[in-house]
Structure formats: C-alpha cells, structure tokens
Amino acid sequence: MEKIIEQDIKAKLEELSKLVAPCLQCASCAAACPVFQTHFERNPRQVALRLARGDFSDVLADEAFWWCGSCYSCEAHCPQGVPLTHVFFELKRLAVEASKPVPKLIQKIGERLSEGFISPATPDVQEKRKKLDLPPVAKPDLQEIQKILDVSGLSQKLKS
C-alpha cells in the first residue's frame, strides 16, 4: 500500500511541478507574501524552486507549505501566472492524504465541520443573539453533513 501511495504522490508532485515550470524566480511572490515578510525562512519562491527542479523529497519534508495563509497575494503578483496558492493547497492536501501530521488548529476546524459550523454555537452566543433581537441560528442538517464528510473520505483522513 505504501508504495502505491508514493507513486500517486510522485505523480501529483510532477503535475504541480509542471504548473510551476514558467517560474522566473523573480520573487514577486516572496515580496508580496505576508508570511515571508515576517519570516525569511518561509519563502514561497523557494517552494516553487524546489518543485520546479524536482526536489520532491525536500518539498514534503520541509512542510513549509503549512505556513501559507491562503491570501493569494503571490498569485495576484506573479507575472508568469503561476497559481502558487493553488499549489500550496494541493501540497497540504497531499500531506493529509499521506497521513502526515496536520497543524492542530486546522485539524480542530476540520473536526468541527460535522457540527455544522466551525465556531461553536454555545449558550452564551444564543443569549447574546436574543439580547440583540436576532433570530436563533439556523440549524443545518447535520446528518447530511456527516454523510458527505464520510463519503468524501475526510472523516477517515481526520481520524488518522
């Protein structure tokens, strides 16, 4: 099983490598990235470079992609049209699929999806809403949501 997963991962990384191929290493993405602006070692340009060069083991081991805050600034500034934020999402999802550790808060939010909302609908919130003359929070069909989480495979991924 492990070998087959690895083949899939390699194939996906090669797909991502093709997406990053037009990169000129101009560093517009790095300059625009709010994460890189605070921490020089978290450099989106470097991730793009490693992918483009095929240094796949580095990319996965480094886990730098988890720092991405999904603001899309890199994509908006890239003169070559490289969809870098999308690449980061794919890398995160690959890590999840390969059962690699997921940052705590992201795992927590994922688990809360089955409750319908990712912020808890606690009694004090209901109170506050009443005080503000607001109707009670809508109740989504939790069974539907759970089913979707199960069928899509996210439930299993969160458990492992």
Partner 1 sequence: MKNPDEKYAIFWGCTIPLRLPWIEKAYRLVLPKLGIHMVDLPFSCCPDPLASKSLDHTAWLALAARNLSLAEEQNLNILSMCSGCFGTLKSAHEEIKNPEVKKEVNQILSQVNRKIKGSTDVLHIQQWLVENFDSISEKIIRPLQGSVASHTGCHYTRPSDILQTDDPVYPEQLDALCEMMGLEAVDYPDKNLCCGTGVGLTDRPAASGLIKRKVIGAYKAKAQALVAHCPSCILSYDSGQMMLLRKDKSIQPLPVFHLMELLGLAMGLDPDDLALGEHAVSVEEVLSRII
Partner 2 sequence: MSSSKSNIRMGVFLCGCGRNIAATVDVDQVAEKSKKIDDVVYVEVNKYTCSETGQAALRSAVREHKLNRVVVASCSPLLHLETFKTTVEQAGINAYLLEMANIREHCSWVHQQNPKAATDKAFELVEMAAAKARYLVPQKEPEVSIIPKAMVIGGGVAGIQAAMDLANSGHQVYLVERTPTIGGIMAVLDKTFPTMDCSICILGPKMSDVQNHPNITLMAYSEVQEISGFVGNFKAKVLHKPRFVTDACTACDECTQVCPISIPNEVDGHLSWRKAIYMPFPQAVPSTFLIDTNYCHGVNPIACAKCRDVCREKGADCINYDDQERMEEIEVGTIIVATGFKPFDASKVPEYGWGRYPNVVTTLEFERLFNASGPTEGHLIRPSDHKPPQKVGFVQCVGSRDQRFNTYCSNFCCLETVKCALLIKEHWPETEITVFYVDIRAFGKGFEELYRKAREEGVQFVRGRPSEIQEDPETQNLTLFVEDTITQKLIQPEFDMVVLSIGADPPDLTNFPLPLAKGSDGFLLEAHPKLRPVDTASRGIFIAGGVESPKDIKESVTQASAAAARASQLMVKGKVTIEPIFAEVDSSLCTSCGVCVTRCPYGAISIQIKGETPAVVNTALCEGCGTCAADCPADCIQMHHFTDFQILEQIRAALKRNPEEKAIIFACSFCSYLGADLAGVSRMQYPTNGRVIRTICAGRVDPDFVYEAFNLGAGAVALTGCHPQDCHFISGNRFAAKREKKIRNWLKKQNIADERFEIEWVSAGEGKKFQQLMTRMSEAAVAFSKTKE
Helix ranges (H only) for 54-141 are 56-62, 73-77, 84-97, 104-112, 123-131
Stretch that binds partner 2, among 25-33, 91-99, 122-130, 133-141 (CB under 8 A): 25-33
- Contacted entry of partner 2, partner 1, none for residue 25, CB cut-off 5 to 8 Å set by kind: partner 2
Other Cβ atoms within 10 Å of 81 Cβ, number: 9
**Contacts with partner 1, residue ranges (CB under 8 A):** 34-35, 38-39, 66-73, 75-77, 83, 85-86, 89, 92-93, 96, 102-103, 105-106, 109-110, 112-113, 116-121, 125, 128-129, 132-135, 137-141, 143-145, 147-149, 151-154, 157-158
Q: How far is CA 71 from CA 41, 43, 89, 97, 103, in A?
A: 18, 15, 11, 23, 18
Query: Is residue 65 near partner 2 by the rule CB under 8 A?
Result: no
> How is 102-117 classified by DSSP, letter by letter?
--HHHHHHHHHGGGSS
Query: Is residue 31 near partner 2 by the rule CB under 8 A?
Result: yes
Q: Which residues bind partner 2 (CB under 8 A)?
A: 24-32, 36-37, 40, 43, 45-46, 73, 77, 79-81
